Amino acid sequence: MGTFVLVPTIFMVAIDRRAEQYAKLAPFAISSALTAGVLLSGAISGGSLNPARALGPALFANLWQNHIVYWLGPVFGAVLAVLAYSYVLKE
């Protein structure tokens, strides 16, 4: 679900050409979106919306409980966000 906050922000700020005048602010918008995503999912699942960040510590700490959640959840959120962008937000 956190990915659903992050990905539309990136699309609207960095990809969409309507936001050209805000291009210098895009990194700030993206990192605050990531902070919000981690905060909102942190209490429930630990707030890992980055599969690379989930894989590394799992391999080194040998913790594999529910590991598939940290791959399927962000991918599902990204697909949902792409659908939302292409049907709603795109001009």
Partner 1 sequence: MALEIKKCMAEFLGSFILVLAVAMMAAATGNVFIVALTNGIALLAAIFITLRISGAQITPVVTLALILAEKEEPARGVSFIVSQLIGGLAASCSSCSAATPSLAFLRLARTLHSCRVLLPKPWEHLCSSPPSSWLQ
Applying CB under 8 A, what is the total number of residues that bind partner 1? 41
CA distances (Å), 4 to each of 28, 36, 58, 75, in order? 17, 11, 23, 10
The amino acid occupying position 45 is S
Binding mask 27-66 for partner 1 (x = CB under 8 A): xx-xxx-xxx-xx--xx--xx-xxxxx-xxx-xxxx----
> Residue 20 is encoded by which pair of tokens?
């050209």
Nearest of 42, 31, 37 to residue 5 by alpha carbon? 37
Rule CB under 8 A: which residues touch partner 1?
3, 6-7, 10-11, 15, 27-28, 30-32, 34-36, 38-39, 42-43, 46-47, 49-53, 55-57, 59-62, 74-75, 77-79, 81-82, 85-86
